Chains A and B, each alone.
Chain A
Amino acid sequence: MKPTRALFIVLGALILTWVSQAAVGYWQVGRLEPVLNEESNLTEPPVPSGLAHTGARVFAAEGCLECHSLSVRGPSSSADLTRGWGVRRTVPRDYLFREPAMTGFSRIGPDLSNIGARLPDTEKLMQHLYDPRLLKKSSTCPPHPWLFRKVPAGPRTEPGALKVSPDGWHQLVPAYQAKCLVAYLQSLTVNYALPEAPLK
């Protein structure tokens, strides 16, 4: 085989692969738009707040994806819906405003696509981040104490301090990163209907 012919084959194959996935993918799902919910007058999927946007970076940096996925499968191929991880399967439009868009390929822990609807309580999410065993003794999720400041307990409770104390002498105040992460987790919802994925 001549080198030039080999070069054309390789370049042709690589460009074909690129075009058929990235370019066609962009054409097919990159131009999707949010849907207007006429009852609430809000768009779906909802646009995340600035805090949640930063929280996505914290979620990535803490490596949560190594154990949690962000993709609910349909009833035909899994028990995800029966487990209560979502009310419908996720579709490409759900990732429209996610930056960075993450999906995750591992499930040592539960899927978090709909965690915002399943566990909206800020205090519980904060406690889980500080030490997951505060809420569930058998949890294998690692603690993230570096997302909290330990402040000596006094007569005045710090604003936003957790209701639990590690030793009775200190109170736990969430750092900015913890607040962002919780905001991101609360923004993760797929409990709305889309034209291509109606609620059952």
Chain B
Amino acid sequence: MNRNEFPPGSAAALVLILGSLIWSLLGAGLQLLATSQLLVPLLDRLIAAPWFSYGRLVPASQFLLGFGWLGSGLLGVLLILAPRFSGIAFRYGRLLFGGALLWQLSIFGGLTQILLEGPSGLVGLPQPHFVSLLLVLSFLVLGTGLTRGLGRTWKSGPVLPRLYLLLGLLAFPLGLGTAEVLLRGTSAPGSVQIITQVLWHSFYQHLWLAPLGLVLIFQLLPTLTGRAVNSLHLGLLAWVATCLLGGWLGTVRVSDGPIPSWMQSAGVIAAMLMGVVALGNGLLIQNLTEGRWEDSRRNVALRFIAVGAWSYASAYLLLAFLALPWFRPVLAFTVGWSAFFEIFTYLFLGSVLAGSIYALLPVSRNFGWPSSSALTWHFWGTTLGSGTTASCLLLAGAFQGLALNDPGVPISTLASYLRPFLFVAVFSQAVWLFGQIVFSAVLLAGLLRLFPAAAPMAVFRDPLVIRPAAVDPLHG
């Protein structure tokens, strides 16, 4: 296929997706290094340099995984998907390409600044001011392109993905802009700064990343299973509830002190209600995936997106659990919260992103997958890796919380409580990284056409069943 045959925006999507792969490997690598340092503290004495310290590796990896891997990747697949909502193609392909390059440049700038100069200490904003500015600028270009995909009238095509896309597109610039102005643009009193940080973190996780993931779930699951969402009213209710409650979820993490009590209570109630919302969306997902086990055994995209969809419900149910008054004081300040981060980031958004790439990229770039067994390695590596890490961290968090709340336990022995769990977590993070490396290799090999395509569509190897490729997700 001639490169001119690709639609405008396709190059931008490719830059964003390839960038997201690089940042995912780097981010997960840094996270693995940081967890290893926690497990073996002597490691940070090997290289006595600030950029190698635990305190910089953790924020750097979180920045890379959030903005670099998920932000970049989700925007990339949405650039492929959005024009299909309305049938309106992008017009300014070069502008989008520039926006995509700017996004990668800002991630690189943020990474080097965090490692060399250190994080800012603000929740969800470890990057310096100029990086945020570049991110907003780039997002305005890419987001404006995506709004074109929404279409002027919504008489035909899916509604739920468009609604979640609208939410994600508006929440990011509003949240980041407000946070930057209040935290670094003006001298807001310290007592207000913490509220603003928590507010931005809620916008970032629950009103930007999660809705972008839900766009892909509600667009691709019906296409891949050939079923429609069975209750639009339930879907609409869940969407309105997400809009209203998402911004409050960050306050659950603050325990006592820094912010007014009523905000913490509101956060707890919002987290409980979001658990109900997740169950509501879970009912829609159940209807979409029920009886499709055989299909998901073969179809890689379907299996990844189904895992992502169920992990979405699990993540918010875990959040509701963490907010319960009996568990919140115990699990506050513990690695138990990292379990939520793990499920939310890796299992929900990571799986949905991988599934979407499997479903959309080969069709849009006209290539096939060189190996079926590599796809199996990718699926089991990433799913088992992140699932095991999340379970370990939750258990470790429970032990850590009980120890923290027992004054008889010296704080210096806390690390020994965590050690067995961290050992398994390091191993499972390495397994996830292995799966992602396999995925990156097979995707690059397919894009560069280094090997002949074994399967035009991503399917798992099954010697007993040979089926034709399932539905083309771009054209239904």
Contact = CB atoms under 8 A, between A and B. Distances in A.
B256 A102 contact: no
B128 to A, nearest CB: 11
B285 interface: no
Interface residues of B, number: 87
Given A17-B244, A29-B192, A6 B412 contact: no
A90 B49 CA distance: 34
A30 interface: yes
Contacts of B332: 73, 78
Nearest to B117: A61
A90 B194 contact: no
B189 A96 contact: yes
B454 interface: no
B194 to A, nearest CB: 5
B247 A17 contact: yes
A66 B194 contact: no
B250 to A, nearest CB: 9
Interface string A69-100: 10111100111001100000111111111111
A58 B347 CA distance: 35
B378 interface: no
A62 B193 contact: no
Given A21-B199, A30-B192, A1 B171 contact: no
Nearest to B160: A1
Q: Which of B188, B190, B198, B405 has the most CB of A within 10 A?
A: B190
A13 to B, nearest CB: 4
B236 A1 contact: yes
Interface string B177-188: 010001100011
Contact of B189 (A21, A32, A103): A32
Nearest to B259: A92
Given A13-B243, A61-B118, A83-B411, A2 B154 contact: yes
Q: DSSP majority for the B interface?
A: helix
B293 to A, nearest CB: 33
Contacts of B53: 62-63, 142, 144
A165 to B, nearest CB: 17
B257 to A, nearest CB: 4
Contacts of B54: 63, 66-67, 142
A60 B182 contact: no
B177 to A, nearest CB: 11
A63 B337 contact: no
Interface in B173-214: 174, 178, 182-183, 187-199, 202-203, 207
A100 B248 contact: no
B333 A105 contact: yes
Q: DSSP majority for the A interface?
A: loop
A1 B159 contact: yes
Contacts of B406: 79
B257 A89 contact: yes
Given A1-B159, A139-B412, A103 B333 contact: no
B221 to A, nearest CB: 20
B55 to A, nearest CB: 2
Contacts of B159: 1
B426 interface: no
Contact of A69 (B37, B170, B333): B333
A138 B416 CA distance: 10
A66 B55 contact: yes
Contacts of A90: 256-258
Interface string B322-349: 0000000100111101000000000000
Given A92-B259, A140-B412, A63 B194 contact: no
A136 interface: yes
A134 to B, nearest CB: 13
A22 B257 contact: no
A10 B151 CA distance: 17
Contacts of B170: 10-11, 14
A22 B56 contact: no
A142 B41 contact: yes
A92 to B, nearest CB: 4
Given A78-B329, A96-B189, A89 B256 contact: yes
A172 B233 CA distance: 68
Interface stretch (A35-43, A107-115, A121-129, A152-160): A107-115
B196 A22 contact: yes
Given A18-B247, A61-B117, A105 B415 contact: no
Given A18-B174, A25-B260, A3 B153 contact: yes
A93 B257 CA distance: 9
Contacts of B166: 3, 6-7, 10
A78 B258 CA distance: 15
A16 B159 CA distance: 24
A198 interface: no
Given A1-B154, A63-B58, A107-B334, A16 B192 contact: no
Given A73-B329, A90-B257, A136 B412 contact: yes
A164 B206 CA distance: 50
A29 B260 contact: yes
B303 interface: no
- Give me the 4 closest cross-chain CB pairs, A-B, nearest first: A63-B55, A61-B118, A60-B121, A17-B247
Interface of A: 1-3, 6-7, 9-11, 13-14, 16-18, 21-22, 25-26, 28-30, 32, 56-57, 59-67, 69, 71-74, 77-79, 82-83, 89-110, 136, 138-140, 142-146
6 contacts: A21-B248, A26-B192, A78-B404, A95-B191, A99-B187, A103-B123
